[in-house]
C-alpha cells in the first residue's frame, strides 16, 4: 500500500482540528514568542517571580522542557492554522457524510448539484471510480467523499504538524515521569 494513501482524511483530522485546544494553540505561533523567548518578557518575569516568591533564582532561563512546550505549541498551532485554512467547510461543519446528507439534501438546488457534479468529475481518482445514477443523494455523497480526500499535501502537512507538536508537548511530561520512576526504583 502506498504511504500517501495512509494520510488521515479531513474527517479524521477534524477531531483534532475542531477541538478547543487546537483553536487556542492556533495563536501559539504569534503569542508564545512574546511570552517565552522575548528578552523583555523574560526580564519582566524575573522581576515578578523574584519579588513574589522567596528563594527563587534570579537567573531564570528557558529550560529544555520550556523549549519543548514552546516548539510543540508552535508546531501544533501551525497544524491548526493549516487545518482551519484548508479543511473544506462541509467537513468542519458536519464531520460525517450521514450528517451532511441529513442536513443538506433537503436544501440542495439544481445549480448546487451541477457545481458539485463538476467538482466530483474534476477529482475522480482511485477512490471514486464512478458516479452512481444521477440522484441527489449519490451526488452529495460523492461530493462529500471527494472533499474529504481533497488537498492531500495539506492533510499530510497538518497531520505531521499535529503529530510533531503533540510529541514535543508530551516530551517534558514523559521525561519527568521517567525521572520519578528512576527515583522510586533507587
Tens-place pLDDT, residues 79-117:
999 999 999 998 999 888 888 777 777 666 656 666 666
Q: What global pTM score does this model have?
A: 0.69
Together in a domain, 158 and 144:
no
Together in a domain, 156 and 79:
yes
Distance between first and last Cα of the chain: 47
Together in a domain, 35 and 57:
yes
**What is the total count of domains within the chain?**
2
| pLDDT tens per residue across span 14-46 | 999 999 988 888 888 777 666 666 666 666 656
Alpha-carbon gap, residue 27 to 40, rounded angstroms? 20
> What are the C-alpha distances in Å from 118 to residues 9, 57, 110, 146?
21, 65, 12, 11
Grid coordinates given for 38: 522575548
Grid coordinates given for 119: 467538482
Q: What angle do CA 114, 117, 122 make, to 5 degrees?
A: 130
Together in a domain, 2 and 72:
yes
Alpha-carbon gap, residue 93 to 91, rounded angstroms? 5
Together in a domain, 59 and 44:
yes
Together in a domain, 126 and 161:
no
Together in a domain, 144 and 156:
no
Together in a domain, 26 and 38:
yes
Together in a domain, 75 and 15:
yes
Of 46, 67, 65, nearest to 57 by C-alpha is 46
Residue 122's domain spans which residues? 96-149
Together in a domain, 67 and 132:
no
3-state SS class at 7: coil
Amino acid at each position: 500500500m502506498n504511504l500517501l494513501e495512509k494520510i488521515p482524511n479531513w474527517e479524521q483530522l477534524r477531531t483534532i482540528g475542531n477541538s478547543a485546544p487546537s483553536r487556542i494553540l492556533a495563536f501559539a505561533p504569534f503569542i508564545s514568542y512574546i511570552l517565552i523567548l522575548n528578552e523583555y518578557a523574560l526580564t519582566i518575569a524575573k522581576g515578578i517571580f523574584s519579588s513574589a516568591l522567596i528563594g527563587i533564582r534570579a537567573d531564570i532561563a528557558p529550560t529544555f522542557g520550556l523549549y519543548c512546550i514552546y516548539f510543540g505549541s508552535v508546531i501544533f498551532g501551525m497544524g491548526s492554522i493549516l487545518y482551519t485554512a484548508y479543511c473544506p467547510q462541509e467537513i468542519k461543519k458536519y464531520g460525517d457524510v450521514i450528517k451532511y446528507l441529513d442536513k443538506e439534501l433537503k436544501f440542495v438546488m439544481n445549480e448546487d448539484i451541477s457545481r458539485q457534479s463538476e467538482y466530483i468529475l474534476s477529482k475522480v481518482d482511485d477512490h471514486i471510480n464512478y458516479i452512481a445514477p444521477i440522484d441527489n443523494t449519490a451526488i452529495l455523497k460523492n461530493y462529500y467523499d471527494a472533499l474529504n480526500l481533497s488537498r492531500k499535501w495539506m492533510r499530510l502537512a497538518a497531520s505531521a504538524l499535529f503529530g510533531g507538536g503533540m510529541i514535543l508537548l508530551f516530551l517534558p511530561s514523559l521525561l519527568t515521569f521517567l525521572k520519578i520512576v528512576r527515583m522510586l526504583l533507587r
